[in-house]
């Protein structure tokens, strides 16, 4: 299943596929939600760009999703990397540097503290669409990163995946990647970009990110689907519910009878499918929802 933006046709299919009884039960009753959460044995927290935006991480989605003069989504493709690996690496170097300076916000921390406190009595799984590593830095342990991680690389030749927290990731990228709209292209030679250090390889490295047009790792997808298939309750946190396949997770859970609560600054196309909706910044609503 490829990552893609939801189309009106697919949204129509989704609406027709799931019962619409959820809308009549939708609630913002926090005490009632907390009682449901207290009794749950399996909890899934599905997070998206909204929670990281509260830490200052650009979402790169919608009308404002530009880096320099480029639509960010157009750089997050295999084709863009084949055509201009230097330009794509400048973009991802910028993203790595921004994320490294960001700090987990109260929403991230509330999730990690909830897991630490109740993880021995409940099965708590955090599934994130984010690639910035903020959940890990907040202390979350049982984490599924659907779309990869900015601080991992994958060799285009031998396919080895490694953690890389170097800043800059290579000498040629130092001081590069600023979102200056007057800068066009990149003049960094490909030989100066990050390369595999494995003996006998030397292949060009790429960010270990699932780009548009690529499939999610089957093992990662299976693990996420398994958690969604058995959870009693699902918290949908700061996600626009428009990127597949994650966009179908919570509606499917609600359709089979799991309680789903959405935490977001505004309603999404999937809000009416869920039992609860709590409007506001995740850094405000989550600490309340996950506290005793």
Q: What is the rounded average pLDDT of the residues 191-204?
A: 97
* Choice among 93, 135, 147, 275 that is catalytic: 147
Distances (CA, A) of 164 to 93, 151, 175, 202, 208: 12, 5, 18, 16, 10
In the annotated binding site for substrate, the residues are 92, 95
Which residues have CB under 8 Å from 212's CB, separation 6+? 2, 3, 4, 73, 76, 77
Going by C-alpha positions, the residue among 192, 162, 186 that lies closest to residue 84 is: 186
Please enumerate, by residue number, every residue annotated as part of a binding site: 48-67, 92, 95, 129-132, 155, 158, 196, 201, 238-240, 264-266, 282
Contact between 268 and 242 (Cβ < 8 Å): yes
Percent of the chain residues past pLDDT 70, beyond the cut: 90
Q: pLDDT tens-digit profile of 40-50?
A: 999 999 999 99
Chain mean pLDDT for the chain = 90
Q: What are the structural domains, with CATH classification, of the chain? A: 19-57+104-147+215-292 (3.40.50.1220), 58-101+149-209 (3.30.1600.10)
Using DSSP bridges, classify how beta strands 148-155 and 205-209 pair: parallel, antiparallel or unpaired. Answer: antiparallel
User: The tokens 């299976």 sit on which residue?
Assistant: 222
pLDDT at 62: 57
At 152, list the tokens.
Answer: 């991992």
Please say if 195 is a catalytic residue. no
Nearest in space to 271 (alpha carbons), one of 25, 7, 51: 25
Binding-site sequence positions for Zn(2+): 155, 158, 196, 201
pLDDT in tens, 111-159: 999 999 999 999 999 999 999 999 999 999 999 999 999 999 999 999 9
Residue bearing tokens 């609406």: 15
Q: Report pLDDT digits (tens) over 6-28.
A: 333 344 334 344 444 344 446 89
pLDDT of residue 60: 76
pTM: 0.89
Cα–Cα distance for residue pair 82/84, rounded to 1 Å: 6
């Amino acid at each position: 299943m490829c990552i893609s933006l939801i189309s009106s046709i697919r949204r129509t299919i989704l609406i027709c596929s799931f019962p619409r009884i959820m809308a009549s039960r939708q609630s913002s009753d926090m005490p009632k939600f907390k009682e449901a959460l207290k009794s749950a044995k399996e909890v899934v927290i599905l997070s998206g760009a909204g929670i990281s935006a509260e830490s200052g991480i650009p979402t790169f989605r919608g009308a404002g999703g530009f880096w320099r003069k480029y639509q960010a989504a157009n750089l997050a493709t295999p084709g863009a990397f084949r055509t201009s690996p230097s330009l794509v690496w400048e973009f991802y170097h910028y993203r790595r540097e921004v994320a490294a300076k960001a700090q987990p916000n109260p929403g991230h921390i509330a999730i990690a503290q909830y897991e630490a406190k109740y993880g021995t009595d409940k099965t708590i799984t955090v599934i994130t669409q984010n690639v910035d590593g903020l959940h890990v830095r907040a202390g979350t342990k049982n984490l599924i990163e659907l779309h990869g991680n900015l601080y991992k690389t994958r060799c285009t030749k031998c396919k080895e995946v490694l953690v890389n927290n170097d800043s800059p990731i290579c000498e040629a990228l130092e001081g590069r990647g600023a979102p200056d709209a007057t800068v066009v292209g990149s003049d960094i030679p490909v030989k100066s970009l990050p390369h595999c250090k494995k003996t006998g390889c030397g292949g060009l490295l790429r960010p270990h990110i699932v780009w548009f047009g690529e499939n999610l790792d089957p093992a990662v997808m299976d693990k996420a689907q398994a958690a969604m298939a058995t959870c009693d309750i699902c918290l949908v946190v700061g996600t626009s519910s428009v990127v597949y396949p994650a966009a179908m997770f919570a509606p499917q859970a609600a359709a089979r009878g799991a309680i789903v609560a959405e935490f977001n600054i505004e309603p999404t196309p999937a809000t009416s499918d869920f039992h609860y909706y709590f409007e506001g910044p995740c850094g405000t609503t989550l600490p309340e929802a996950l506290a005793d």
